[in-house]
């Protein structure tokens, strides 16, 4: 039993997106519950990835491979977890705010959050406040993530938060923000719940916001 | 791949033209042939006379054919080996290879715990050697100080005895006299497995210094002859001071200093043809207000660059200088002066750059300066490694695959190259403000201090053979016996 857990966490640590789904299936076949596979295998591997990244022993390209492997495993586990009524980390609605065409940083955070076990609704870039509001209504996410790359567009994050407030939805979600010109102080000023300075930090923050870290 | 395709993959520095170097070279030959040097050493005078030099009392003039012959005999490329056979710690001297290490004989030391300045003592030696052994960009070892708390004739011997077990990187050993040299050699030979084995794989370099202007002292030549007879790779390094003990101009000091060094070369090659010989040394200015020999002056880097080019023109490796400062403490001046001279040395490809870790114009050695400079050397080495251009590195296909508004973080190409294509700092901080704040807003000084403490607490150098330990004890007790009444 512990052998399959160890193999799973190693596959995550090594960023092996081919092996991980196979090992997930093998674990399920051996009679483990989806929750056991997730908690004792995949999450253990991903936690170690976080530790090594912080220590400087792993770098972003490797962390992304691990996140990919995690996502490949979750593809199998998620429907089963939903079916069994297990508590999931929830959804994150992600978007780069209005006027800003930068897509990549936000996608990296999305991948990392997916690797951490969240489900991602990616709204793309140049996202109008209304589109965020409709997505909240439709998907009922736990978290809304916003990104801006430019000092000229970062204020749109504040406008979007205001619009969410005016739609009466602010209390239903946590909001976290990021992007090159953004810092903690700015995030506080516009009334965000959190600020992530890089992709792995963003995933860590998302977990904290839903009380899972 | 293609015929006549020119590759320039590293950053190169070339200051003087061949015409200018020929003029400097001829100037050195002229000084040796017409002015000559004083040689205060009977055996050397005999050797020189026999080789064809013109000896008149203590004044020796060397005809240019003899100097050229001596230059011809000395190798441009050779290897100095790690004492434990670890190939990573071997030093391959040859064109385009710059190596770095500390210097010797500072009277004072920055205490590794308190960071206060105090006299250099015996227990500092193993600490310096351990730090040298651990730092990835430091290639050879010197002690950064003169041991003050042993008999005043035995400082050099205690230094070598303290360094040798604590680093397997080659040591550059200085000594007071031939007795020191013999003791040092006995230790190194014991580890190598005998004199013959040592000659095949020499595991240290012998360092001696003539006097400027134009004097070869008895002690320096005693040591030179000892090294030549035992085929120990030899550094003969003058320390002329522009405006004081040498001409004020860069071209003038280069000519005089080279003549001083090539006097040693001529004796060494007459005695031991083909002996690896490294010309020196420390060329800088006398500051005309403080009268110090400046270790942080831009002229030091400039003169050393000119001297490096002359050495390479003549077919010799050079004992370069860099990573040193006139600053009294670990501050901005120390880092500016040290880093710029390190970078300049790397650009010249000067073969062995020493005095990394000198502060206070060579009055005080500092492993903190050395450790910070290790970072600067890594930085400089990444730049001099240059840009590789080939089908794989041009990544045209990768660019096509990723396309507009994609990203490269997931590409196999990125994963294959990011660890070698990028240099990663050890003590320079690149984190964001919040992370930096969270860890206590540590400065470069704090991080350098922490790195030194970490090395001293955790680094384990490879051990020497048990029989060598016994030889060290024997050499030290014999030396104590020899000097006990002096």
β-partners of residue B330 are none
**pLDDT reading at B9 higher than 80:** no
Q: What is the pLDDT of residue B4?
A: 82
Centre a 10 Å sphere on the Cβ of residue B447 and count the other Cβ atoms it contains: 19
**Interface probe, candidates B410, B425, B429, chain A, greatest A C-beta count within 10 A:** B410
Q: Are residues B300 and B200 in the same domain?
A: yes
Q: What is the pLDDT of residue A82?
A: 84
Q: Are residues B260 and B308 in the same domain?
A: yes
User: With helix as H, strand as E and coil as C, how does B321-343 read?
Assistant: ECCCCCCCCCCHHHHHHHHHHHH
* Residue partners of A90: CB distance under 8 A and separation at least 6: A118, A119, A141, A142, A143, A210
**pLDDT reading at A213 higher than 70:** no
Predicted confidence (pLDDT) per residue in B14-49, tens digit: 899 999 999 999 999 999 999 999 999 999 999 999
Centre a 10 Å sphere on the Cβ of residue A138 and count the other Cβ atoms it contains: 10
- Residue that finishes a domain, picked among B421, B441, B468: B421
Q: What is the mean pLDDT of residues B61-79?
A: 98
- Judging by DSSP bridges, how do beta strands B59-61 and B37-39 pair with one another? antiparallel
Q: Are residues B148 and B258 in the same domain?
A: yes
Asked whether this complex has an ipTM greater than 0.85, the answer is no
Compute the distance between CA of residue B278 and CA of residue B205 in angstroms, rounded to an integer: 10
| A60 → chain B, closest CA residue | B409
Compute the distance between CA of residue A47 and CA of residue B310 in angstroms, rounded to an integer: 58
* Residue partners of B193: CB distance under 8 A and separation at least 6: none
**Interface probe, candidates B418, B422, B433, B434, chain A, greatest A C-beta count within 10 A:** B434
What is the phi/psi pair of residue A10, to 5°?
-65, -40
Q: Are residues B395 and B284 in the same domain?
A: no
**pLDDT reading at A85 higher than 90:** no
* Element spanning B215, H or E: strand B215-216
Give the domain CATH number at B237: 3.20.20.480
Compute the distance between CA of residue B51 and CA of residue B267 in angstroms, rounded to an integer: 8
Q: For residue B357, which of B91, B125, B80, B109 has the smallest C-alpha distance?
A: B109
Least-confidence region, from A80-89, A130-139, B401-410, B423-432: A80-89
**Interface probe, candidates A61, A65, A187, chain B, greatest B C-beta count within 10 A:** A61
Q: Are residues B171 and B285 in the same domain?
A: yes
How close is the nearest chain A Cα to the Cα of B405, in Å?
Answer: 7
DSSP string, B393-424: HH-HHHHHHH-TT--STT-HHHHHHHHHHS--
3-state secondary structure at position B179:
helix
pLDDT grade, residue B337 (50/70/90)? very high
Q: What is the mean pLDDT of residues B55-76?
A: 98
Predicted confidence (pLDDT) per residue in A135-145, tens digit: 999 999 999 99
- CA A75, A81, A82, A84: dihedral to nearest 10 degrees? 150
**pLDDT reading at B78 higher than 80:** yes
Please measure the distance between the N-terminal and C-terminal CA atoms of chain A and give it in whole angstroms: 26
Let me know if residue B37 belongs to a domain.
no
DSSP secondary structure letter of residue B462: P
Q: Are A170 and A204 in contact (CB under 8 A)?
A: no
**pLDDT reading at B6 higher than 90:** no
Predicted confidence (pLDDT) per residue in B443-462, tens digit: 999 999 999 999 999 999 99
Check A61 against B410: CB less than 8 A apart. Answer: yes
Q: Are residues B208 and B286 in the same domain?
A: yes
| A111 → chain B, closest CA residue | B410
Let me know if residue B472 belongs to a domain.
no
Predicted confidence (pLDDT) per residue in A22-70, tens digit: 999 999 999 999 999 998 999 899 889 988 988 888 988 898 899 889 9
Residues from chain B contacting residue A59 (CB–CB below 8 Å): 418-419
Q: Are residues B287 and B408 in the same domain?
A: no
**pLDDT reading at B2 higher than 80:** no
Predicted confidence (pLDDT) per residue in B166-208, tens digit: 999 999 999 988 899 999 999 999 999 999 999 999 999 999 9
Q: Are residues B269 and B403 in the same domain?
A: no
Q: What is the mean pLDDT of residues A89-102?
A: 92
Positive or negative torsion for Cα B157, B161, B167, B168? positive
For B381, the domain range is 78-385
How close is the nearest chain B Cα to the Cα of A150, in Å?
Answer: 16
Residues from chain A contacting residue B418 (CB–CB below 8 Å): 59, 61
- B407 near A CB under 8 A: yes
Q: What is the mean pLDDT of residues A106-115?
A: 87
| A68 → chain B, closest CA residue | B410
3-state secondary structure at position B142:
coil
What is the phi/psi pair of residue B80, to 5°?
-110, 130
Bond from prior residue into B88 cis (ω within 30 degrees of 0): no
Residues from chain A contacting residue B426 (CB–CB below 8 Å): none
**pLDDT reading at B1 higher than 60:** no
Check A65 against B415: CB less than 8 A apart. Answer: yes
Q: What is the mean pLDDT of residues B117-131?
A: 98
Check B410 against A104: CB less than 8 A apart. Answer: no
Q: What is the pLDDT of residue A164?
A: 96
Q: Are residues B410 and B314 in the same domain?
A: no
Compute the distance between CA of residue B391 and CA of residue B411 in angstroms, rounded to an integer: 16
**pLDDT reading at A1 higher than 70:** no
Q: Are residues B402 and B272 in the same domain?
A: no
Let me know if residue B374 belongs to a domain.
yes
* Chain mean pLDDT for chain B: 95
Q: For residue B80, which of B182, B200, B187 has the smallest C-alpha distance?
A: B200
- Residue that finishes a domain, picked among B385, B408, B431: B385
Quick one: what percent of chain B has pLDDT higher than 90?
Answer: 91
Give the residue with greater pLDDT, B142 vs B406: B142
**pLDDT reading at A128 higher than 80:** yes
- What domain count does chain B have? 2
* Element spanning B354, H or E: strand B352-354
Q: From chain A, which residues contact B within 8 Å (Cβ)?
A: 59-62, 64-65, 68, 101, 103-104, 107-108, 183-184, 197-198
Let me know if residue B282 belongs to a domain.
yes
Please measure the distance between the N-terminal and C-terminal CA atoms of chain B and give it in whole angstroms: 70
- B419 near A CB under 8 A: yes
Q: For residue B32, which of B70, B84, B1 has the smallest C-alpha distance?
A: B70
3-state secondary structure at position B35:
helix
Least-confidence region, from B121-130, B411-420, B429-438, B477-486: B429-438
As given in the structure block, the two tokens for residue B110 are 């920055």
Q: Are B316 and B278 in contact (CB under 8 A)?
A: yes
- Residue that finishes a domain, picked among B421, B436, B465: B421
Check A183 against B434: CB less than 8 A apart. Answer: yes
Compute the distance between CA of residue B138 and CA of residue B355 in angstroms, rounded to an integer: 11
Which of A60, A184, A197 has the CB atom closest to B409's CB atom? A60
Let me know if residue B127 belongs to a domain.
yes
Q: Are residues B410 and B349 in the same domain?
A: no
Check B434 against A197: CB less than 8 A apart. Answer: yes
Q: Are residues B312 and B410 in the same domain?
A: no
Q: What is the pLDDT of residue B211?
A: 92
Let me know if residue B160 belongs to a domain.
yes
| B413 → chain A, closest CA residue | A61
Compute the distance between CA of residue B321 and CA of residue B283 in angstroms, rounded to an integer: 8
Q: What is the pLDDT of residue B437?
A: 92
* Element spanning B158, H or E: helix B155-163
Q: What is the pLDDT of residue A133?
A: 96
3-state secondary structure at position B278:
strand
Let me know if residue B426 belongs to a domain.
no
Q: What is the mean pLDDT of residues A109-125?
A: 89
Let me know if residue B474 belongs to a domain.
no
What's chain B's length in residues? 486
User: With helix as H, strand as E and coil as C, how does chain A read?
Assistant: CHHHHHHHHHHHHCCCCCHHHHHHHHHHHCCCCHHHHHHHHHHHHHHHHHHHHHHCCCCHHHHHHHHHHHHHHHHHHHHHHHHHCCCCCCEEEEEEECCCCCCHHHHHHHHHHHHHCCEEEECCCCECHHHHHHHHHHHCCCEEEEECCCCCCCHHHHHHHHHHHHCCCHHHCEEEEECCCCCHHHHHHCCCCEECCCHHHHHHHHHHHCCCC
How close is the nearest chain B Cα to the Cα of A110, in Å?
Answer: 14
Q: How far is CA A80 from CA A37, A77, B261, B310, B335, in A?
A: 11, 5, 81, 76, 59
């Amino acid at each position: 039993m512990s052998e399959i857990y160890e193999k799973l966490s190693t596959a995550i640590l090594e960023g092996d997106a081919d092996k991980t789904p196979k090992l997930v299936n093998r674990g399920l076949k051996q009679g483990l519950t989806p929750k056991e596979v997730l908690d004792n295998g995949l999450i253990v591997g991903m936690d170690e990835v976080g530790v090594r990244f912080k220590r400087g022993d792993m770098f972003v390209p490797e962390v992304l491979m691990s996140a990919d492997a995690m996502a490949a495993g979750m593809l199998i586990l998620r429907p089963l977890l939903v079916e069994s009524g297990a508590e999931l980390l929830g959804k994150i609605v992600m978007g780069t705010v209005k006027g800003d065409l930068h897509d990549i940083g936000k996608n990296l955070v999305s991948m990392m959050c997916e690797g951490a076990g969240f489900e991602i609704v990616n709204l793309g870039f140049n996202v109008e406040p209304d589109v965020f509001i409709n997505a909240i209504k439709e998907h009922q996410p736990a978290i809304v993530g916003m990104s801006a790359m430019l000092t000229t567009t970062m204020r749109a994050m504040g406008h979007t938060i205001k619009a969410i407030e005016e739609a009466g939805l602010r209390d239903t979600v946590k909001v976290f923000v990021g992007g090159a010109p953004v810092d903690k102080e700015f995030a506080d000023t516009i009334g965000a719940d959190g600020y992530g300075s890089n992709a792995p930090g963003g995933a860590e923050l998302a977990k904290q916001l839903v009380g899972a870290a | 791949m293609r015929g006549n395709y020119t590759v320039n993959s590293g950053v190169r520095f070339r200051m003087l033209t061949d015409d200018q170097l020929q003029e400097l070279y001829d100037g050195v030959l002229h000084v040796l042939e017409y002015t000559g040097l004083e040689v205060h050493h009977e055996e050397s005078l005999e050797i020189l006379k026999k080789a064809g030099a013109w000896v008149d009392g203590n004044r020796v003039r060397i005809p240019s054919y003899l100097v050229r012959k001596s230059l011809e005999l000395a190798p441009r490329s050779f290897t100095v080996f790690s004492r434990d056979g670890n190939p990573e710690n071997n030093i391959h001297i040859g064109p385009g290879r710059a190596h770095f290490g500390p210097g010797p004989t500072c009277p004072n030391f920055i205490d590794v715990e308190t960071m206060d300045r105090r006299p250099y003592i015996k227990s500092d030696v193993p600490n310096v050697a351990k730090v040298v052994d651990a730092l990835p960009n430091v290639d050879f070892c010197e002690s950064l100080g003169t041991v003050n708390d042993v008999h005043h004739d035995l400082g050099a011997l205690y230094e070598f005895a303290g360094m040798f077990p604590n680093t397997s990187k080659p040591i550059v050993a200085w000594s007071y006299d031939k007795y020191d040299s013999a003791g040092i050699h006995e230790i190194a030979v014991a580890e190598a497995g005998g004199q013959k084995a040592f000659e095949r794989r020499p595991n240290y370099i012998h360092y001696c210094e003539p006097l400027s202007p134009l004097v070869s002292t008895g002690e320096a030549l005693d040591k030179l002859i000892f090294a030549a007879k035992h085929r120990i790779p030899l550094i003969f390094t003058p320390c002329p001071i522009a405006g004081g003990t040498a001409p004020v101009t860069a071209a003038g000091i280069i000519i005089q200093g080279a003549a001083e060094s090539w006097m040693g070369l001529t004796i060494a090659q007459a005695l031991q043809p083909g002996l690896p010989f490294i010309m020196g040394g420390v060329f800088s200015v006398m500051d005309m207000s403080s009268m110090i020999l400046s270790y942080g002056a831009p002229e030091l880097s400039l003169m050393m660059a000119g001297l490096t080019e002359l050495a390479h023109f003549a077919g010799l490796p050079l004992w370069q200088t860099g990573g040193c400062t006139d600053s009294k403490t670990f501050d901005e001046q120390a880092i500016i002066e040290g880093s710029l001279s390190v970078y300049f040395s790397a650009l010249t490809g000067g073969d062995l750059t020493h005095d990394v870790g000198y502060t206070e114009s060579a009055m005080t050695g500092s492993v903190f300066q050395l450790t910070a400079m290790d970072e600067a050397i890594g930085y400089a080495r990444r730049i001099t490694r240059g840009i590789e251009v080939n089908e794989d590195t041009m990544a045209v296909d990768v660019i096509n695959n990723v396309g507009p508004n994609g990203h490269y973080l997931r590409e196999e190409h990125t994963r294959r190259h990011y660890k070698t294509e990028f240099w990663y700092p050890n003590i320079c901080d690149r984190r964001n403000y919040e992370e930096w704040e969270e860890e206590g807003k540590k400065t470069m000084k704090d991080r350098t201090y922490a790195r030194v403490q970490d090395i001293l607490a955790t680094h384990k150098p490879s051990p020497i053979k048990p029989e060598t330990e016994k030889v060290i004890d024997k050499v030290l007790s014999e030396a104590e016996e020899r000097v006990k009444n002096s």
